[in-house]
Structure 1
Amino acid sequence: MNRQALISEIENYQSKYPEEMIYRGRFLDLLSYDDCFERSLLFGHITASAWVLNPSKDAVVLMHHKKLDRWLQPGGHTDGDEDVVRVARKELEEETGLRNVLLLHDGIFDLDIHPIPARKEVPAHEHYDVRFVFVTLTPDELTKNEESNQLAWIPLTDISSYVANEISIMRMVEKSALLYI
């Protein structure tokens, strides 16, 4: 997927969640910046993440992020790579060790824009996160890296207690219930 394909996907993206429809316009505005895939764009930049379900689709892998001190799905900066699906898959592999995964839904699973606090020389900014849903065939291959304090399969029914009902994660939980393969 390149920038033009991403623009087309976002233009055609539909959601019953009003916040995602607002985000859609903001994503399209950001994509007009040549450097929107670079973290050097200090007010905000494109990121990609992976919502990874186990084979029975009743649990998702979350990592307790060291820097942000929160439970989150795997994901990260695109660092110039316009192929957000590739970035989501790369981040998934780096942050969880899971290699045997399948893209469950062709296209964008979720759009989110969230604030990132200032840290050292980097000012507060926003991550424009494009999210994709995967399923792993080998859930026992979890391997934590240096970015997380902990990595775990969390039952979808228990996620709210881990993420304090954070709206974007709860939105993906709701969407997971609608997935059929």
Structure 2
Amino acid sequence: MHRNDLLSRLRTYRKTWPNEKDTADRLIGFVETHPDCFERSLQVGHITGSAWLVNRAGTHVLLTHHRKLDMWLQLGGHADGNTDIIDAARQEALEESGIRNLTLWNPEIFDLDIHRIPERKNEPAHFHHDVRFVFQCLENEDYIVSEESHDLQWVDIQSLEKFTHEESMLRMKRKWLQLLS
């Protein structure tokens, strides 16, 4: 029961973005196979929630220079047992940025990504099954850099390649620009 909302959203995503059917199918299979998919303790991997957080004008996205991965990425992280993946994504964005006035732009999944997290200290290599939503900052855009980041920055979406060449980030750029046109 606790996975039904996510499974329903994933099936809708598969129809909305048919060219990403393989990723959606992999994620659906993962969620169906693992009742504990929202738990970080699932060592093969787990569900994470992310926020493509845009400014009021929709021209800039807030990125974190992730401390552990040493990369510029969207805000997000572990669901930690929260089966409401939108709430988990919002909570991660709040924790990583300090911005409280986050508005969900659309309740549908914006993007999916499955990526390998390398082994680190006592944690084995595993996969993050990342479910991404668009949030918008409609008021104060001032942020606070958390201990999880080297830095945060509002990045002009048109110039995203100055910060990253990560395909999933560039895919979100393309999707966002397509949605705005």
Report the Cα distance in structure 1 between the residues aligned to 2:148 and 2:52, rounded to whole angstroms.
Answer: 17
Map 1:117-132 onto structure 2 (within 5 A): 117-132=118-133
Map 1:30-179 onto structure 2 (within 5 A): 30-32=30-32, 33-163=34-164, 165-179=165-179
Partner of 1:178, secondary structure, is helix
Alignment deviations for residues 152-174 of structure 1 (CA, whole Å, 9 cap, x no partner)? 000011111211x2111111111
State the 1:128 CA deviation: 0.2
- Counterpart amino acid of residue 115 in structure 1: R
TM-score (norm 2): 0.93
CA contact (8 A) 1:113 1:129 kept: yes
Q: Is structure 2 residue 64 aligned with structure 1 residue 25?
A: no
CA contact (8 A) 1:55 1:139 kept: no
CA contact (8 A) 2:55 2:141 kept: no
Report the Cα distance in structure 2 between the residues aligned to 1:86 and 1:159, rounded to whole angstroms.
Answer: 26
Structure 1 gaps, min length 5: none
Report the Cα distance in structure 1 between the residues aligned to 2:35 and 2:136, rounded to whole angstroms.
Answer: 33
CA contact (8 A) 1:98 1:138 kept: no
State the 1:16 CA deviation: 4.3
CA contact (8 A) 1:3 1:83 kept: no
State the 1:139 CA deviation: 4.6
Report the Cα distance in structure 2 between the residues aligned to 1:4 and 1:10, rounded to whole angstroms.
Answer: 10
- Aligned equivalent of 2:12: 12
State the 1:95 CA deviation: 0.3
Partner of 2:38, secondary structure, is coil
Alpha-carbon RMSD across the aligned residues, in angstroms, is 1.7
Alignment size in residue pairs: 179
Partner of 2:141, secondary structure, is helix
- Counterpart amino acid of residue 5 in structure 2: A
- Counterpart amino acid of residue 175 in structure 1: K
Distance 1:166 1:17, change over 3 A: farther
- Counterpart amino acid of residue 100 in structure 1: N
TM-score (norm 1): 0.93
CA contact (8 A) 1:15 1:21 kept: no
CA contact (8 A) 1:48 1:129 kept: yes
Deviates more, 1:115-124 or 1:138-147: 138-147
Alignment deviations for residues 48-98 of structure 1 (CA, whole Å, 9 cap, x no partner)? 000000111111000000100000111010111110000000011110111
